[in-house]
Amino acid sequence: MTATAIHRARTAILQEEMERAGIDALLIYGNSWHADSLRYASDFGIQEGQALALMARDGTVTLLLDDAGEADRARAEGACETIHAPRLIETAKELLARAGNRRVAAAPWHLMPYGLTRDAENLRIADGTAILEKLLMGKRDFEVEAVRRAGRLADAGYEVFRAAVRPGAKDYELIAEIEAFFRAHRVPENFMIIGAGGKEVRGMAPPVGKTIKAGDLVTTELTPCVEGYYAQVCRTLVAGPPSEIQLKSFAVFQEALAAGLASVRAGVPGSDIARAENEVFRKYGLGQYVTSEYTRVRGHGIGLFPDQKPQLLEDIHIPVSENSTIIVHPNTYHPDAGYMVLGDTIVVRAQGHESIGRLSRDLLSVPF
Amino acid sequence: MRRGFYGWDAAELPLAALEARAARLQEALRAEGLDGALLYTNIARPAAVSWLTGFTPYWSEGLLFVPPHGAPDFATALSNRVAEWMRSVTPAGSIVCTPQPAVFFGRRLAADGAKRLGVLELDMLPGGQAAALLSAAPGLELVDATALFRSARAPRDAAETALFAHAAGIASGAFEALTPALTASPREAMAALEQFARVHRAEEVFVTIASDLSRDDCFQRVDRAADPGASFALRASLAYKSTWVRHTRCFSKDADTAALFARLDSAFRECLRLSGPAQSLRSQIAAGLARVSGARLTHCSVEACLGSYPLEAAALEGGEPAAGSVVCAKATIGALRWIGQLPVILHARDAG
């Protein structure tokens, strides 16, 4: 599907949801961190500044951008009427006032500027987060196809990353190579963090200037996007031949990923998937390493936001729906080897899942 | 998100410079009778917090509380696991990892009996943060502290000037490194600009293209860029240690047009080099470009870092840029468009 067709399809879906909820208009906020709701409604991938989009029941969208360059870019894309609004709140209030006595659902509510929420009653805006959240989590076929395309780029990108791991390379130089690859392949955004070293490394973060040395574990998660839809891959490689300890430690992650994936089917609570992964660690006496002290989540939803609901944690019971896209990743610290990652984006099916990635799930290595 | 190089270097950003900045803000807070200042940060609006702490979140969000006396405290929803990394790249103040930074500060303010809290860009504070803050500190009056902050932030110091110059050098170097073979393929050139900047430790890079200057001068990202025409422009917006600059250059496959672009670039650079007070900037640039084949200035604007945005529109006439500025000029020569954009220090008003 073309970008235009994707936008039209999402607009129709939003119109149905507005009709169902008895809403006259949707007010959507976005910035370069949380760009998902805005992208869904306006098809604009915001890069700088902040935006509000007002969608009427007839599907027309007015996009307010506080950055002049971004407003020019949106106008050139031509998906909706665009206003450069350096005084974003005042312009939004004027727009809402012109819209008259209507019921407006605003999302995501927690990010909606205080200048609007403190006047919510007068402006007749109310929390509409649930409307968008449901659409962002569940995916239509055209959305799954975009995630698949992003997944293929993630796989190709990982091979570039792997080839870039050379003796003496700095961590930020690896990032430079992969980002150049993605830009050359028309990928505008990529969520990526990295870890390099041994048992002293407790997680991944942006690069800090480390030099890759023999024996290091090099961990990364790559998350490129196509038409705004992200797919993620998490892999660990060793600079040089892996040690017995590294291989043995990594086997736990392979078993945990397999257990997590085996538990996936439509309707299963995310907590069940997390528990399946964590039970493997507990079986090997590594239970403490699946707590929040060592790891954040055991996977999460993915789509127009690279880290969306449902977060896979044993105490979050949101079910995964059929055709939703999630990543299962039992990433954590192993006391014998250090921080290791392994994960793949999948499509949830009625009785299982469809893997999107094709990369080997072995502990990878590069000659050093 | 940010995925380029992060790192604090005391030689580049001395702790004393950060302390002096906080002291200026605190002096203003005390003069206004405020019980502190609250500054919100995320990757779209990181500049105010990074100016005071050196830190930009690569993801998630956070709040910096600056009391009238004492060191600032930073609270973020980033998890404890990354606290060690944050401390390694954040020289100033303490760091608290909490799922609800606003509740954390609200409780503290309530316990301290605070009455009036200054908030930078109050209207743009996420509603969820405001609600959480006020739920933990009922009765607390939130006061917009944008003008107060901007005034305290305005005088640039040597560290900021040096970081700006370094960022400008990366951008300039990236364009200088483009070979004719690369500029023959604009998408490859965009990738090369980004790679150069990241290899030279840029924290973030956005490269965009105005694909066909015979049609328009709108900059697009790589995914939506049209097929390039004979003449196009590339823009690199990049950050080094939280300090943002932009640099734009035009290219043409036609040798005569390329030579004309080069003369306009040179004239623009010379105008900026000779520029005096901001009041005369537009006329200086207009006159300088007009001397090149009668080019007509159609647009002139200045961006600077004033509050939480990395760069935002600054006053062109009569204003006093707070730190390094980015000047953009657009001109036409007949049907041909030209765009120039360079980082420059326009004004000397140093804090020491």
Q: What is the pLDDT of residues A284-343, one digit of tens each?
A: 999 999 998 899 999 999 999 999 999 999 999 999 999 999 999 999 999 999 999 999
Q: What is the pLDDT of residues A146-178, one digit of tens each?
A: 999 999 999 999 999 999 999 999 999 999 999
Q: What is the pLDDT of residues B95-144, one digit of tens each?
A: 998 989 999 999 999 999 999 999 999 999 999 999 999 999 999 999 99
Distance CA A205, CA A220 (A): 9
- Identify the sign of the CA torsion B43, B44, B49, B53: positive
Answer yes or no: do B142 and B221 share one domain. Answer: no
Backbone φ and ψ for A249, nearest 5 degrees, come out as -65, -45
| Rounded to 5°, angle at Cα A198 from A195 and A199 | 110
Q: What is the pLDDT of residues B190-218, one digit of tens each?
A: 999 999 999 999 999 999 999 999 999 99
pLDDT value of residue B281: 84
Backbone φ and ψ for B306, nearest 5 degrees, come out as -115, -35
Last residue of a domain, one of B121, B153, B185: B153
What number of CA atoms fall less than 13 Å from residue A149's CA on the CB side? 16
- The 3 state secondary structure assigned to A40-105 is HHHCCCCCCCEEEEEEECCCCEEEEECCHHHHHHHHHHCCCEEEECCCHHHHHHHHHHHHCCCCEE
Answer yes or no: do B203 and B335 share one domain. Answer: yes
Give me the residue from B195, B201, B309 closest to A177, CB to CB. B195
Give every CB contact of residue A338 below 8 A, 6+ residues apart in sequence. A197, A198, A199, A200, A201, A217
Chain A neighbours among B 181-220 (CB < 8 Å)? 187-188, 190-192, 194-195, 197-199, 201, 203, 205-208, 216, 218-220
Distance CA B172, CA B165 (A): 10
**Confidence tier at B320 by pLDDT (50, 70, 90):** low
Percentage of chain A lying above the pLDDT 90 cut: 97
Q: What is the pLDDT of residues B258-275, one digit of tens each?
A: 999 999 999 999 998 876
pLDDT at B346 over 50: yes
pLDDT value of residue A272: 98
- Chain B contact for A73 (CB, 8 A cutoff): yes
Yes or no, beta carbons of B219 and A293 under 8 Å apart = no
Answer yes or no: do B133 and B197 share one domain. Answer: no
Answer yes or no: do B85 and B171 share one domain. Answer: no
The overall average pLDDT reported for chain B is 92
CATH code for position B194: 3.90.230.10
What is the reported pTM?
0.96
What number of CA atoms fall less than 13 Å from residue B308's CA on the CB side? 26
Q: Are B218 and A73 in contact (CB under 8 A)?
A: yes
Q: Are B216 and B246 in contact (CB under 8 A)?
A: no
Q: What is the pLDDT of residues A6-57, one digit of tens each?
A: 999 999 999 999 999 999 999 999 999 999 999 999 999 999 999 999 999 9
- Chain A contact for B269 (CB, 8 A cutoff): no
Last residue of a domain, one of B132, B153, B174: B153
CA neighbor of A26 nearest in space, from A57, A64, A65, A63: A57
Greatest distance between any 2 Cα atoms in chain A: 69
Distance CA A75, CA A3 (A): 15
Place of tokens 């570039």: A160
The residue of chain B nearest to residue A192, with distances taken between CA atoms, is B3
Q: Is B273 exposed, middle or buried (0-12, 13-18, 19+ CB in 10 A)?
A: exposed
Backbone φ and ψ for B31, nearest 5 degrees, come out as -65, -30
- Chain A contact for B33 (CB, 8 A cutoff): no
For each of the domains in chain A, give its residue range(s) and CATH number, in order of start.
3-136 (3.40.350.10), 141-366 (3.90.230.10)
Answer yes or no: do B94 and B207 share one domain. Answer: no
Distance CA B219, CA B247 (A): 13
More confident: B198 or B81: B198
pLDDT value of residue B276: 62
> What is the span of the domain harbouring residue B332?
158-344
ipTM of the prediction? 0.96
